[in-house]
Amino acid sequence: MTPTFASLRNLLGTVAKSYVTVVIVALLVSASLAPIVWGSTSNPDGTVAVIEVDSTLTESSAERITDDLQEARQNDSISAVVLDVDSPGGGVSVSEGLYLAVERTAEQMPVVTSVDSTAASGGYYMIAPSDEIYVKPGSIVGSIGVRATYFDVPPTDEQITTGPDKNTGGTETEYKAQVEMMRQAFVGTVIEHRGDELTLSETELAYAKVYTGTKSVENGLADDIGDTEVAIGTAADMAGLKDYDTIEMESEPLSGTSLIIGSENGDRPEASTVHPQTYGRYGAVNTPTFLALWGSVDNERVIDATELERPVANETGGDRP
Give the CA diameter of the chain: 133
> Do residues 95 and 122 lie in contact, with contact meaning Cβ atoms separated by under 8 Å?
yes
Determine the length of the chain: 321
Residues contacting residue 172 through CB under 8 Å, at least 6 positions apart: 303
| 78-87, 206-215, 222-231, 257-266: least confidently modelled range | 257-266
252 vs 287 pLDDT, higher one: 287
Find, among 68, 77, 64, the residue nearest to 249 by Cα: 68
172 vs 121 pLDDT, higher one: 121
Q: Which helix (H) or strand (E) holds 142?
A: strand 140-142
Quote the pTM value.
0.74
- Alpha carbons 286 and 307: distance in angstroms, whole number: 23
Domains of the chain from N-terminus onward: 46-307 (3.90.226.10)
- Alpha carbons 2 and 11: distance in angstroms, whole number: 14
Q: Which helix (H) or strand (E) holds 233?
A: helix 228-238
161 Cα distance to chain centroid: 42
Q: Provide the 8-state DSSP code for 306.
A: G
Residue 254 has pLDDT above 90, yes or no: no
What confidence tier does 274 reach under pLDDT thresholds 50, 70, 90?
Answer: very low
Average pLDDT on 83-104 reads 95
What is residue 224's predicted lDDT score, i.e. its pLDDT? Answer: 97
Between the CA of residue 165 and those of 104, 171, 174, what are the distances in Å?
Answer: 37, 8, 11
Q: Provide the 8-state DSSP code for 57.
A: B
Average pLDDT for the chain: 77
> Do residues 119 and 139 lie in contact, with contact meaning Cβ atoms separated by under 8 Å?
yes
Average pLDDT on 234-242 reads 96
What confidence tier does 97 reach under pLDDT thresholds 50, 70, 90?
Answer: very high
| 12-16, 35-39, 178-182, 316-320: least confidently modelled range | 316-320
Residue 186 has pLDDT above 60, yes or no: yes
